[in-house]
Amino acid sequence: MTSSSATSRKALSKIASNRLQKELVEWQVNPPVGFKHKVTDNLQRWVIEVNGAPGTLYANETYQLQVDFPEHYPMEAPQVIFLPPAPLHPHIYSNGHICLDILYDSWSPAMTVSSVCISILSMLSSSTVKQRPEDNDRYVKNCRNGRSPKETRWWFHDDKV
Amino acid sequence: MSSSRNTHWCYRCRRPIRLQGRDAVCPNCNGGFIQELDDMVHINPLDFFGLDNDEGRDPRYRMMEAFSALMGQRLADRSHSHDIRGRSDLFSEHNSGVGPLLIFGGQIPVRLSRNNGFEALFNGVPGIGLTRGNGGDYFIGPGLEELFEQLSANERRGPPPAARSSIDSMPTVKISQRHLRSDSHCPVCKEQFELGSEARQMPCNHIYHSDCIVPWLVQHNSCPVCRQELPPQGSSNSRPTAANRGSSSNGNTSGRESQGRRNPLSYLWPFRSSNSSSRNSGNSPSNSPTVRENNHHQMGYSGWPFD
């Protein structure tokens, strides 16, 4: 579907694998509302279905998140993108990249897939307009060759939308 | 070349010299910042740059070649499409890990270069250079901060590291019933704490397994749960970056700065510029942040979930 981020990923470390297994179990017991993990045997890549929250611009719409975990998760953030078609949102680029601080500079190892999902849904829900980021075309053009959003120097200053 | 040729290059005089006696110093300036010429040129880099070969062993070209190799390798590592291309395949023997940094003053020797895309960094004014351990890799130019930023873009993100001494002096606590009631799990590995086992306590009272929190703090001085920093230990080793980060009310600081996001290697920079936004060459910093570079993205959403 997408260019599966050209770089060949290193296998999960033991620590990462343990932690992800715990998260998976926790998810099964207590999944975040509005999300569905599409089960595969690949612990390192999760595909998660997102349902737009009722009463928001994205109600009754379904999108897919792809979460790729680095070798040293959770010391490093997972790479999280929307699979196409990505929702129309001022902070979501048409290539699925998400401008959300906790995915990059503000990542913390106390965060989980579940908490990231909730942040993303909250970002969707607070949107008042369905549109692409102003610099969408330029950014997407710069990201050819399957560049990871984690290599972007994001510039966060708007926490209202 | 004649047999009485020069044997070394003096970086201070910026010309080839011939050693006299056994001391490794320049006979002209008495400086010790010299390098053996044979060390410096493995292939003829002039072909590489398409320049006239009138000074066959001029190490100036060697610098650029090495720099290009350095950049090429780093960028290749990051595997995406920058304009800066190097020939790391030709020079990979120089790229033996990062040694200590040595910083020296210098003059940009020539303007680089038609096809190699370094113009942005080498723009022909006096600058600063840098060499790594074995003297193999150099950078010369006014854009060293930009260079650091590029090299580190994929490595150090977020808050700067905690000082080792601060980490070491973080108290160790024994897990008691009281702990288990409030913090039953380590926030990093999500494993349950065991009664009577040891954990490390941050100043904000959040506790972690030592093996969970230390690898994080050596990268980022920030409590994973509440983002509080470890205080610097003693006064001598407190880096200004850590101390200044709280004071964001200064109207002159750029948006980047006031959010505590700065060049992650800026503490290595010995010549503190008065305005950290030197990367915005040309654009005077304005109060309202705008998109400053192609790959800076202004808009975003703050999703911190622990407040």
DSSP assignment string, A16-63: HHHHHHHHHHHHHHSPPTTEEEE--S-TTEEEEEEEPPTTSTTTT-EE
Chain A residues whose beta carbon lies within 8 Å of the beta carbon of residue B184: none
Query: What interhelical angle do A113-125 and A14-29 show, nearest 10?
Result: 60
Which sign does the torsion angle of CA B17, B18, B20, B25 carry?
positive
The token pair at A22 is: 């715990």
Q: Which residue of the set A16, A50, A98, A99 is catalytic?
A: A99
**A98 or B57: which leads in pLDDT:** A98
- What is the pLDDT at residue A160? 52
Query: In the predicted model, is pLDDT for residue B180 greater than 60?
Result: yes
Measured distance CA(B200)–CA(A75) in Å, rounded: 17
Does B216 sit within 8 Å of A75, measured CB to CB? yes
CB B80 within 8 A of CB B67: no
pLDDT for B275 beyond 80: no
Type of residue numbered B99: G
Mean pLDDT, rounded, of chain B = 60
Q: Is the dihedral of CA B2, B3, B6, B7 positive or negative?
A: positive
Q: What was the pLDDT predicted at B19?
A: 79
Q: Which chain B positions have a beta carbon within 8 Å of A102's beta carbon? A: 302-305
Task: Answer for the pair B105, B73: CB distance below 8 angstroms, yes or no.
Answer: no
Interface test with B, best of A72, A105, A158 (most B CBs within 10 A): A105
Provide the pLDDT for residue B97: 38
pLDDT level of residue B38 (50, 70, 90 thresholds): low
The residue among A148, A153, A154, A150 whose CA lies nearest residue A2 is A148
pLDDT tens for residues A8-23?
Answer: 578 999 999 999 999 9
Q: Residues of B with CB below 8 A from A139's CB? A: 294-295, 297
* C-alpha span between B277 and B296 (Å, rounded): 13
What residues of chain B lie within 8 A of the CB of A110, using their CB?
187-188, 224-225, 306
Which of A:2-21 have CB within 8 Å of B?
A: 6-7, 15, 18-19
CB contact under 8 A, A157 and B255: yes
What single letter denotes the amino acid at residue B224? P
Is A117 a residue of the active site? no
Asked whether the predicted pLDDT for residue B202 surpasses 60, the reply is yes
Among A90, A101, A155, the residue with its CB nearest the CB of B302 is A101
Mutate to test the interface with B, among A13, A119, A153, A160 (most CBs of B within 10 A): A153
| Average pLDDT score, chain A | 89
Residues B55-82 have a mean pLDDT of: 52
pLDDT of residue B66: 60
A102 interface with B at CB cutoff 8 Å: yes
Per-residue pLDDT tens digits for B100-146: 333 333 333 333 434 433 333 333 333 444 433 344 444 444 455 55
Searching chain A, which residue's CA lies closest to the CA of residue B187? A110
Which residue did the predictor score with more confidence, B2 or A40?
A40
Q: Does pTM top 0.90 for this prediction?
A: no
Nearest CA in chain B to A108: B224
The percentage of chain B sitting over the pLDDT mark of 90, rounded to a whole number, equals 21
Q: Residue B45 is inside which H or E element, if any?
A: helix B45-49
Q: Which helix (H) or strand (E) holds B74?
A: helix B59-78
Percent of chain B at pLDDT > 70 equals 36
Per mean pLDDT, which of A147-161, B129-143, B238-252 is the most reliable?
A: A147-161
Which one is predicted more confidently, B210 or B279?
A: B210
CA-nearest residue to A124 within chain B is: B301
Beta carbons within 8 Å of B138's beta carbon, 6+ residues apart: B63, B64, B66, B67, B70, B129, B130, B131
B288 inside 8 A of chain A by CB: no
Range from A57-61, B72-76, B127-131, B147-151 that averages highest in pLDDT: A57-61
Of B190, B291, B304, the CB nearest to A155: B291
Q: Which residues of B touch A135 (CB under 8 A)?
A: 291, 297-298
For residue B53, pLDDT over 70 is answered with: no
Distance from C-alpha of B266 to C-alpha of A146, rounded to nearest angstrom: 30
What is the rounded CA–CA span in Å between residue B201 and residue B214? 11
Burial A15-31 (b: 16+ CB within 10 A, else e): bbbebbeebeeebeeee
A residues 119-158 lying closer than 8 A (beta carbon) to B? 119-120, 122-123, 126, 133-135, 138-139, 142, 144-145, 147, 150-158
Q: Distance from B259 to chain A by nearest Cα, in Å? A: 8
Of A74, A118, A154, the CB nearest to B305: A118
Mean predicted confidence (pLDDT) in B246-259: 38
Among A105-109, B57-61, B174-178, name the one with the lowest average pLDDT.
Answer: B57-61
Comparing A73 with B15, which gets the higher pLDDT? A73
